[in-house]
Amino acid sequence: MSFFMGTIDELRKLELHDQCIEHIEIDFDEEVIRISFSIFVDIGLDDAIIIFEFDGIRRLAITMDLKEFVYLQIYSHELITMPGGEFSLRILMLQGPSEPSADLSFIFKRCRKL
């Protein structure tokens, strides 16, 4: 699959509040981050897994204070268009009710949905 700008709009419109992060992969050699989101569909149905790959990563910042190694639930995400055709993504995650646990932010050049 190729990188395309339509994915940026899709990511911006996704309702990620109270959804879970299943997997985060950071590939330093390729300057790529892959994030798997578990999206609630409907009662009685399995959650949908959506994977986004971010390319041309720079300025990666991760803050984590995990009390246990369990799921992370997304509290909020912010996607900003920056000068020079780059984007900034910040995801704030919780591990329990109102307990900030993790903050992931980075700048990237391209994004695609796998």
35, 21 contact by CB (below 8 A):
yes
- Domain hosting 83: range is 6-113
> Rounded CA gap, 38 and 18, in Å?
10
- Residue 51, burial from CB neighbour count under 10 angstroms (0-12, 13-18, 19+): middle
Question: How many domains is the chain partitioned into structurally?
Answer: 1
| Interstrand relation of 99-108 and 32-39 (parallel, antiparallel or unpaired) | unpaired
- Per residue in 36-89, pLDDT tens? 988 877 776 677 888 999 999 989 998 887 766 667 788 888 999 998 889 999
Q: How far is CA 46 from the centre of its chain?
A: 20
38 in a structural domain: yes
1 occurs within a structural domain: no
> In DSSP terms, which residues pair with 26 in a beta bridge?
33
Exposed, middle or buried by CB within 10 Å (0-12, 13-18, 19+), for 67?
Answer: exposed
Q: Is residue 24 part of a domain?
A: yes
Q: What is the per-residue pLDDT across 21-40, written as a single tens digit (0 to 9) for each?
A: 888 999 999 999 999 988 87
